[in-house]
Structure formats: structure tokens, C-alpha cells
Amino acid sequence: MMREWWRDAVVYEVYVRSFADSDGDGVGDLEGIRSRLPHLVSLGVDAVWLTPFYPSPMADHGYDVADYCDVEPLFGDLPAFDRLLAEAHEQGLRVIVDVVPNHTSSAHEWFREALADPTSPARSRYVFRDGRGDGSLPPNNWQSVFGGDAWTRVPDGQWYLHMFDEGQPDLDWDNREVHEEFLRILRFWLDRGVDGFRIDVAHSLYKNPAMDDARDPLPGEDPGDVTSAHVWDREEVLAVYEEWRALLDGYTPDRMLVGEVFLFDVPRIARYVSDERLHQAFNFTVMRTEWDAPALRTTLREALAHFSPGTWVLSNHDLVRHVTRYGGGSLGRRRGLAVSALLFALPGSPYLYQGEELGLDEAQVPRDRKQDPWFLRTAGANPGRDGCRTPIPWDSAAPGLGFTTGEPWLPFGEDAAALAVDRQLTDSASTLHAYRRLLSVRRALLDEGLPDEVAELATAPDVLAYRRGPLVAVLNTAAEPVQVELPGAVLLEATAEGAAVAAGIVTVPAAATVWLRA
């Protein structure tokens, strides 16, 4: 039997607003993405994940969906999507689209109907409740992820739940009509030819039906974390994905579902993945692990024990870019590239966020330019996610750095021009070239038939080494080069200069990974 494509796929996340702007309005769009598909092909990725491009008031930049079966005019239209999908397929790229089932936009026709008529069936599709006391207090003390109460009162006196922005009312998944609507939405895009779905907040949907208060937070504890036990990872949600999986399996066998299960308990994440549920769930534990060999070793052991194969995530549109987390600048790029190279060698599917291949740092966005509701709702107490969402620099000499001919919706980071695609293409030592080489070697080895089994090799405390068939990957987290004994090994690729093999001894530069053929 042919191996499913998603098991090994390198998936590239396109944050639509910030990838490429074709019409000069400062906001990325579908035609812009289509024009840059050759970059993704030459990089060596297998699939593209598009963040939401549906009609939206943009309260949360597209994750507040007003119509799940159309395209936001800011980004194009359905024919533009069809052109992008067709051309991506022609160039050998799969296309995954985002689906947002936890909430809609407050501009969605269902919610507008629910507000207009309290007796409408549409109201039962959302989580509306009476207030406490005389009705002037929220139904409970739950807190929004974005800060503040998770409840907003409407003119007739009831309150609606929104675990994110008030423009994102939560759906009530105890209502069968909600299930049927999302099955319809999935069919719409499957019939159009998409290859899979990334499911936003996949561990939510169902809420504690008792609607009782969350406990009081401990000193220094985020009230939103206390609320989480009432709204995340309830057992009922697994049946939703069994229903969705049955739908996808009725199409061609190569469609897939990947869930944003934002938990750090690996066994609980693993519950979402099976032959009857999701094909994949994001594993964010590596993202949370510091630059430290013992810590990385523990994280990888747990992931490899529970997922076969799994996913590897270092950055995305919600996370501080990993170059910054690893120290920033050239040090962060060196460390980030080293960890990426180690993950590329392991079984599973790496998910790259646009700009990783350029080694972009988190941008420092001025307060008056920030747009993230997380920043706005907390009055700046949370820095928000704008810093990881700034536009991609394509051309260091062009106005708008090749992203746009207009004013970009967010400013570029300080390193943008120096790390632009055009400059890195002419520098064989650039991060971009390193990613290209690594993914090319990885593809060649997979075509030979790399197994899913991996063995951890005994090494020095600051070194991690894994063998997967003929491939051996060695990461050195120390500040000095280390030597590892690997008789018969041949150097395939290295993320830093100074790697060498002589008389069965491998020299691994500081903060670097080497790949060898055993």
C-alpha cells in the first residue's frame, strides 16, 4: 500500500495577510500567494496550510468567520482560490485550509438572527445564558483567553459566551444543527479539491454544562488558565472528530485533518489521533522546551513514544518566533536551524511557519501599530502576536520589500531587509539555503525508504543523537565543538561550518546539527 502523504509531509503555514500582496493595498492575498508558489516548491515543502481567508470583520484577523463558504474580498474571491488550488496541485503542493469550529464571527448570519430574535432557533446554536442575581452579572466568572470576562450582555438582557474576543461568540456543540453545518462546510471545500483541514482550537467546542464558577486563581496564576478546565479538552469533543474522519474517509483516502490541540500533556494530545479520529495533532511541547540537551531529550522521548509518527512545531502565527526564543539574532538563527535539522531527521511531519526558512526574529511592533485583540483587550499587558505576523521580505531593494507596493498592514522587523529572500538566494551560507539543502536530502532519504523506527544513541550530556535507518542526526547544544565516535559514518549535511568526519570521529560544531549516513 502507498504511504499516506501527510505522515512525512513538510507543511508550510502561510499567514495570508502577510505573505504576498498582489494589489498594493498592503495586505496579502490569494493571488499574491499564487505568485510565490515557486518559492515554496524550491524550498522543498510538500503542502501549504492557509490561515482563514473567509469573509470576516477581522476582529481576530480572520479567525472570526462570517461565512465559511466564501472568500473575504480583501483576499480575493472563489475563482482566485480555485486558481491557487489548481496551480498548487500542478506544482505538486497539497493545500490545507483552516476551519474554525469553536466560534463564528458576531457578523455571521446565525448570530445576527440570534440577536434579532431571542426566540429564534439560531440563539440555541450559541451559548446564551441568563445573568446572575438580577441578571446584571455574568453567568459565571469564566475569563476570556484574550483577557477580561468571557461573557458579553446583549440588549434583551441575556449574555453570550466568547472564549476569545467579543466578536467571536462560541457555538453550542450540544445543538445538532451545529454539527450538520460543519459537515456541510467540510463537504464544500472537499468538493472543491482541498487536501485537508487544520482545525482551530480543536480541543475546545464543548463547555462544562454545569456552567459553574472556576476556582479562584492562585497568586500569579492566569485566571484564563483556571477557566480552561471548564472549556478545553472535554471528552465529548472526540466524537466530533470521529464524525469528521468518517466524512473524509468517504472521499479519497489522502484527505487529512490536523488539530490545534493546544495542550502540553502528550498522552492527552495523543487521544485525538487515531484511525477513527484526527490524522494528526500539533505537538507544541518542543516549542516549550528550552535550548538544553537534557530537556530536549526528555521532550523528544515522550513525543516519539506517543506519536507514530507525529508532528513537529517550533513556530506559528500565535507563538513568539523560535529564533527569538533561542537567543535572537545570529545565535538564535544558529540554534533554531540546529533544532529544526534534528526534527527534520525524525519520523513525522514538520510544520514550518512562513519566515522560518529566512531565520526571521520576532519583530518589535510599535504600540500604535499593534492590532492583535489580545494586546488590545489587555491594554498592553499581553504583548500580543503582531511581532510574529509581520510581512515576508522578498526583495531588499524594492519598495515594501517586495511584499507590497503600498503601506504594509504591519511594519517589517528590523532584520527584514538584511534577511530578504533575494539576499539569501545569493548567499550559499544563508539560512534559506540551509533549509533547502536539508529538505532536499530529507526527501531523497525518504524516497529510499526511511523507517518510522528511531533509536536514541548514547552521547555526551550536551549532545543528542538519533539513528533512523541509515540516517544519523547529531545535535550539539554546547558552546564548543564536540567529537562523537561513529565508525563508518559519512557526512551528509551540517548546519554550521567546521563539521568533519575522520577515522570514525565526527566533529559537531557548537550549536549545530550534522546529518550522517551510517
200 is catalytic: yes
Q: Kindly name the residue from 165, 172, 260, 493 that is annotated as catalytic.
A: 260
| Rounded Cα distance, 373 and 226, in Å | 21
Q: Which long-range contacts (CB under 8 A, 24 or more apart) does 302-306 make?
A: 302/266, 303/266, 304/346, 304/347, 304/454, 306/266, 306/267, 306/269, 306/270
Give the burial class of 268: count Cβ atoms within 10 A of its Cβ; 0-12 exposed, 13-18 middle, 19 or more buried: middle
462 is catalytic: no
In 175-202, which positions are buried (b, 16+ CB within 10 angstroms) versus exposed (e)?
beebbebbeebbeebbeeebbbbbbbbb
Q: Kindly name the residue from 29, 46, 170, 200 that is annotated as catalytic.
A: 200
Using only C-alpha atoms, the chain has a radius of gyration, in whole angstroms, of: 23
| Rounded Cα distance, 130 and 136, in Å | 9
CB-CB contact of 319 with 388 (8 Å): yes
Strands 471-476 and 505-508: unpaired
Check whether the bond before 309 is cis (ω within 30° of 0): yes
* DSSP state for residue 76 in the 8-state scheme: -
Measure CA 55 to chain center: 21
Which residues belong to the active site?
Answer: 200, 260
